[in-house]
């Protein structure tokens, strides 16, 4: 897991080899106000994709299309995931040891440039639908590729989009170019927030037991790779991609050119977030017009992340956030269900495969790329 860290330098060309990475103390000593602002901003940025991603995941369940159902995370997937994540992490570690970081990060920048544009465009789409002027014509377009002719003619790509989609893609492309050229922390955060929100929305657990297996396995994984080896630290120092949220602790002193960052890995948002989103769908299934389990787990996340930041700040060392988030996010809702006598209902709740409504002729490419993006981010940040 890319964990909560302080005094971390975000690669921007000049700070790539800074000594202030992964919780080590840099040359700049931030003020108490700057540190509090950085931690508070990270906490707020972590809560936004969880809250809105969970709400959008409920909308997904209401708009599901039986002809184009996305896969969910099953118990078998959850049990295997820590092993897959470990192999991915160690593979990246070997890559950075053997090959030049410059070429690897250039390839990754291009990869995340494409996926970031799609993720940010999808995130902006509901907002664009609300603010798009009614007097501006919303023209429809279609991108069609076929193979063969006559009766053997087969559709390869059939993607429909409109003017609003083009505007979202245009704005997202500007952010993408900004990130590739400057690696600025604001562009990094825009992509990171989009990845996190899409992850919470598009990645679904099929039941609470699966969530417990997944979080429990990654709890052990996180503690081992952070405290047991230097692999996580090495990868975090070398990897240049928007797989973390950052906020400068020297913003008050240096403004937007600040370079002394606190950071939070996207995995610390997405992994608890998909469990919290599942509990919101469980609340909806109870049909009691309450969101008790959602708000309980949401407050538990705030408590766990706050505790992570407190311990990290006290001991001046990067912390595996899931060490604190997993017991809080699982323990609080389970205790509440036990108190309310709904523990059996909670663990018997089965969530069908859920996803965004995509017809066979609209959004298929975008959906597949977004799912690929979310799964890849999920592995890299776990």
- For residue 72, pLDDT over 80 is answered with no
Cα gap 382→376, rounded to integer Å? 10
List helix spans (H) across 255-363. Answer: 267-286, 292-315, 322-340, 343-348
Of 379 and 67, the structure prediction assigns the larger pLDDT to: 379
Is the pLDDT at 319 greater than 50? The verdict is yes
pLDDT digits (tens, 9 = 90+) for 74-123: 888 888 988 998 998 888 888 888 887 788 788 888 888 889 999 999 89
Q: What is the mean pLDDT of the chain?
A: 80
pLDDT at 28 (0 to 100): 56
Q: What is the pLDDT of residues 13-33, one digit of tens each?
A: 434 333 333 333 344 567 888
Residue 258 confidence (pLDDT) above 90: no
Greatest mean pLDDT among 89-93, 163-167, 226-230, 332-336 lies in 332-336
Determine the pLDDT at residue 13.
41
CA atoms within 13 A on the CB side of 152: 3
For residues 58 and 196, is the Cβ–Cβ distance under 8 A?
A: no
d(CA 46, CA 154): 44
Q: pTM score, two decimals?
A: 0.81
List, in sequence order, every residue forming a beta bridge with 144; answer none if it has no partner. 158
Is residue 120 within 8 Å of 172, Cβ to Cβ? Answer: yes
Catalytic residue among 165, 250, 268, 283: 268
Q: Which residues of 308-322 are buried (b: 16+ CB within 10 A; e: fewer)?
A: bbeebbeeebbbbbb
Q: How many whole angstroms separate alpha carbon 360 and alpha carbon 367?
A: 11
186 contact partners, CB below 8 Å, separation of at least 6? 256
Is the pLDDT at 347 greater than 70, yes or no? yes
The pLDDT assigned to 14 comes to: 39
Residue of 3, 165, 222, 250 marked active site:
222
Residue 51 has pLDDT above 80, yes or no: yes
Active site residue 77: no
Give the C-alpha distances (Å, rounded to integers) separating 271 from 71, 238, 252, 291, 313. 16, 23, 32, 20, 23
Strands 261-265 and 244-248, by their bridges, are antiparallel
The long-range contacts involving 282-287, CB below 8 angstroms and separated by at least 24 positions, are 282/208, 282/346, 282/349, 282/351, 284/58, 284/61, 285/349, 286/342, 286/345
Above 80 in pLDDT, residue 375?
A: no
For the question of residue 222 being annotated catalytic, the response is yes
Q: What is the mean predicted confidence (pLDDT) over 286-290?
A: 86
* 215-248 pLDDT per residue, tens: 999 999 988 888 888 888 788 777 788 888 999 9
Contact in structure between 116 and 176 (CB atoms under 8 Å): yes
Q: What is the mean pLDDT of residues 364-382?
A: 49
Class of residue 253 by CB neighbours under 10 A (exposed 0-12, middle 13-18, buried 19+)? middle
Write the DSSP symbol of residue 257. G
User: Percentage of the chain surpassing pLDDT 70?
Assistant: 81
DSSP string, 198-236: HHHHH--BSBHHHHHHHHHHHHHHHHIIIII-SHHHHHH
Q: Which of 247-261, 271-285, 348-362 has the highest mean pLDDT?
A: 271-285
Q: What percent of the chain is modeled with pLDDT above 90?
A: 34
Among the listed ranges 6-20, 63-77, 95-109, 178-192, which one has the minimum average pLDDT value? 6-20
Instruction: Compute CA distances 32 → 35, 36, 37, 303, whole Å.
Output: 5, 6, 9, 21
CA–CA separation, 152 vs 232, rounded Å? 51
């Amino acid at each position: 897991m890319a964990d909560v860290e302080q005094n971390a330098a975000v690669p921007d060309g000049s700070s790539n080899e800074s000594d202030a990475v992964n919780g080590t103390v840099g040359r700049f000593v931030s003020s108490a106000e700057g540190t509090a602002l950085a931690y508070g901003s990270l906490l707020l940025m972590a809560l936004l994709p969880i809250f809105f991603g969970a709400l959008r995941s409920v909308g997904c369940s209401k708009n599901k299309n039986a002809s184009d159902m996305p896969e969910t995370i099953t118990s078998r997937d959850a049990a295997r995931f820590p092993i897959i994540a470990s192999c991915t992490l160690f593979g990246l570690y070997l890559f950075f040891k053997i090959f030049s970081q410059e070429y690897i990060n250039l390839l990754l920048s291009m990869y995340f440039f494409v996926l970031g544009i799609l993720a940010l465009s999808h995130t902006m789409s509901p907002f664009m639908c609300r603010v798009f002027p009614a007097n501006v014509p919303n023209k429809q377009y279609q991108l069609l590729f076929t193979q063969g002719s006559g009766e053997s003619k087969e559709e390869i790509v059939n993607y429909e989009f409109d003017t609003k989609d083009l505007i979202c893609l245009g704005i997202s492309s500007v952010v993408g170019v900004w990130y590739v050229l400057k690696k600025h922390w604001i562009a990094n955060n825009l992509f990171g927030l989009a990845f996190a929100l899409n992850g919470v929305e598009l990645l679904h657990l099929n039941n609470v037991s699966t969530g417990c297996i997944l979080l429990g396995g990654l709890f052990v994984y996180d503690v081992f790779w952070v405290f047991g080896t230097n692999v996580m630290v090495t990868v975090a120092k070398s990897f240049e991609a928007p797989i973390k949220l950052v906020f400068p602790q020297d913003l008050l002193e240096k403004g937007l050119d600040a370079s002394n960052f606190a950071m939070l890995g996207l995995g610390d948002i997405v992994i608890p977030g998909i469990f919290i989103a599942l509990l919101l769908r469980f609340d909806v299934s109870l049909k009691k017009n309450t969101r008790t389990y959602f708000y309980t787990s949401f407050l538990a996340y705030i408590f766990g992340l706050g505790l992570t930041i407190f311990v990290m700040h006290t001991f001046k060392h990067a912390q595996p956030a899931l060490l604190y988030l997993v017991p809080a996010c699982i323990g609080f809702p389970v205790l509440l269900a036990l108190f309310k006598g709904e523990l059996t209902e909670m663990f018997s709740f089965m969530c069908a495969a859920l996803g965004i409504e995509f017809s066979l002729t609209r959004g298929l490419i975008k959906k597949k790329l977004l799912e690929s993006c979310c799964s890849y981010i999920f592995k890299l940040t776990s």
